[in-house]
A and B are shown apart, each in its own frame.
Chain A
Amino acid sequence: AQKITQTQPGMFVQEKEAVTLDCTYDTSDQSYGLFWYKQPSSGEMIFLIYQGSYDEQNATEGRYSLNFQKARKSANLVISASQLGDSAMYFCAMREVALWDDMRFGAGTRLTVKP
């Protein structure tokens, strides 16, 4: 069964600094996708970035990048130049190709950006 682990319940970062949010996953499938979502205090879920298991390059989207280490089964989110608006809950999620509609989420990391 799929399992996503986010070991950092809460993280603090100074404004303009970079921060890494950890995510490890467990799957026996070779084909899968990894996702990061942001949930601000207003409650909506915002898609940030996607990495496919066969993608050779790490995914990047603006200030977000995904540090994908397949052998270690980790997919850490790196946010560069943190902004106050980055304060939110961040969720890592995974979907196996064989169960493409069944996406599993981690418990989340609450990021607080300090001015």
Chain B
Amino acid sequence: NAGVTQTPKFQVLKTGQSMTLQCAQDMNHNSMYWYRQDPGMGLRLIYYSASEGTTDKGEVPNGYNVSRLNKREFSLRLESAAPSQTSVYFCASRRDYLYNEQFFGPGTRLTVL
């Protein structure tokens, strides 16, 4: 039981390049989330998926797209990376509406040059 896994752990991109961050959970959770964490700030929600087949914008969605591929997997795509997207990205999952705790992945440290 791995919990929430994220790949890659580290990534360096040049401005304008694209990439997809992968997230998977093996806890049969319905809801999944993508956050970014910048220095001196808490986590900010980028996108979430309350159930398979649905996605919604969070606080800072601009410059990102997401795909809920199936119940297990939720990917985050940067189509044209910008230096402002340099951050640590966390994926999280939660069982369903009635449950409070979110389980977080280990994070992906992304640098855009």
Q: Which bracket fits the contact residues of A?
A: 10 to 19
C-alpha spacing A35/B99, complex, angstroms? 13
B59 x A47 contact (CB < 8 A)? no
Q: How many A-B residue pairs have CB under 8 A?
A: 47
A4 x B107 contact (CB < 8 A)? no
Q: Does A44 contact B (CB under 8 A)?
A: yes
Q: Which bracket fits the contact residues of B?
A: 20 to 34
A107 x B42 contact (CB < 8 A)? yes
B100 x A102 contact (CB < 8 A)? no
Write the B37-49 contact mask toward A (1 if CB under 8 angstroms, else 0).
Answer: 0001111110010
Shortest Cβ gap from A37 to chain B (Å): 8
Which residues of B are found within 8 Å of A107, using beta-carbon distances? 40-42
Nearest chain-B residue to A50 (Cβ)? B100
Which of A44, A45, A101, A105 is B44 in contact with, Cβ under 8 Å? A105
